[in-house]
Amino acid sequence: MAVRDLRTLPKAHLHLHFTGSMRPATLLELADKYGVHLPSALSGGEPPELRATDERGWFRFQRLYDIARSCLREPEDIRRLVREAAEEDVRDGSHWLEIQVDPTSYAPRLGGLIPALEIILDAVDSAARETGLGMRLVVAANRMKHPLDARTLARLAVRFRDRGIVGFGLSNDERRGFARDFDRAFAIARHGGLLAVPHGGELNGPDSVRDCLDDLHAARVGHGVRAADDPALLARLAERKVTCEVCPASNVALGVYDKPEDVPMRTLWNAGVPMALGADDPLLFGSRLAAQYAIAREAHGFTDHELAELARQSVRAASMPADVREKTLTGIDEWLA
């Protein structure tokens, strides 16, 4: 029997960072345009040795990300990035993308926080119309900044909810600060109708996931894989149907696990924890959405029926309109037929 093509499996993509979605060739062009010197890890040299589980590794990762972000300076750069991210997702079988961004990082070059967010939202709207991909935005606070900044972002995200913002996140090094420091920002977002989707359980252990549930009332958890170390926490995630946005290639690149086989996808699966596979930062980790499903197939022995259920779980966790959800679920059944 022929192997089913994972790129044609309909799916939703719920964990993709803004600058990290950039095509390497686009980064090279923009760096040349603005005279930005790229280190070899970003210019086609050896893949970066990140190992972000130690402080130096996280610094290297953040430095590379910041250099790439410095090449996004004009509205057209933003439009290009979003359009190309959508094109890549469509190529990998995605029917829905929730792309995550901290607009404060782009505000200095785009005329301020509100203009930056409007440019990004306009780019998402245009890319969705041009590619046919359903797209929405998750606004993410930076846990390395003051919690008051997060509250400002949460209010802004709620204000622009009707323009396509569906969630509020919390990213960057989870070893810094406490989730509870951001509880007011997440309360503002939740009360404004946004999903709470903080990162947790990546660089830190199961306590980080528990804090996302207890302090931020997470509907989904970015990564969440370290919950596998705590059977009681797994049972809680399964009972509440809290989806973990699992990014296996990222986990290996950042040194959370040594090899793809070590990522505890089977542990979460067997515990009944919903998963939505994501690419995280393809620019730095070298693989996009379909490749994450390939890891599930090749490193963990997921059958096509199980891969289809993984895709269904991503669709159920997405902020899709009902008609798009039903159409995508039907497409998954047809992929199996």
More reliable by pLDDT, 59 or 193: 193
Which pLDDT value is given to residue 173? 83
Question: Looking at residue 49, what is its pLDDT?
Answer: 58
Structural domains of the chain sorted by starting position, each given as residue range(s) with its CATH number in brackets: 6-336 (3.20.20.140)
* Structural tokens at position 182: 């951001």
Is the pLDDT at 1 greater than 90? The verdict is: no
Classify 224 as helix, strand or coil.
Answer: coil
* pLDDT value at residue 113: 97
Residue 217, sorted as left (phi over 0), alpha (psi -120 to 50) or beta, turns out to be left
Mean pLDDT rounded to a whole number for the chain = 95
DSSP symbol at 206: H
- The answer, yes or no, to whether residue 52 has pLDDT greater than 70, is no
What is the per-residue pLDDT for 281?
A: 96
The residues near 37 (Cβ < 8 Å, ≥ 6 apart) are: 31
**Residue 125, exposed/middle/buried by CB under 10 A (0-12, 13-18, 19+)?**
middle
Return the residue matching tokens 């926490």. 233
pLDDT at 305: 98
Assign 158 to helix, strand or coil.
helix
Q: Does 202 qualify as catalytic in the annotation?
A: yes
From 202, 239, 261, 309, active-site residue: 202
pLDDT digits (tens, 9 = 90+) for 275-297: 999 999 999 999 999 999 999 99
45 — pLDDT class (breaks 50, 70, 90) = low
What is the DSSP code (8-state) at residue 286? -
β-strand pairing of 195-196 with 165-171 = parallel
Q: What is the dihedral of CA 288, 171, 61, 22, to 10 degrees?
A: 40
* Spatial contact of 263 and 252, defined as CB atoms under 8 Å apart: yes
- Region 150-156 average pLDDT: 98
Report pLDDT for 47.
Answer: 54
Q: Residue 41 — pLDDT band, cuts 50, 70, 90?
A: confident
Amino acid at 46: E
The rounded percent of the chain whose pLDDT value lies above 70 is 96
Q: Which amino acid appears at position 248 of this protein?
A: P
Does residue 93 register a pLDDT over 90? Answer: yes
Task: Please report, for residues 171, 185, 222, 310, the alpha-carbon distance to residue 181 in angstroms, rounded to integers and kept in the order given.
Answer: 13, 9, 18, 33
Going by C-alpha positions, the residue among 289, 321, 337 that lies closest to residue 94 is 289
Mean pLDDT, range 220-235, rounded to an integer: 98
User: Is the pLDDT score of 149 beyond 70?
Assistant: yes
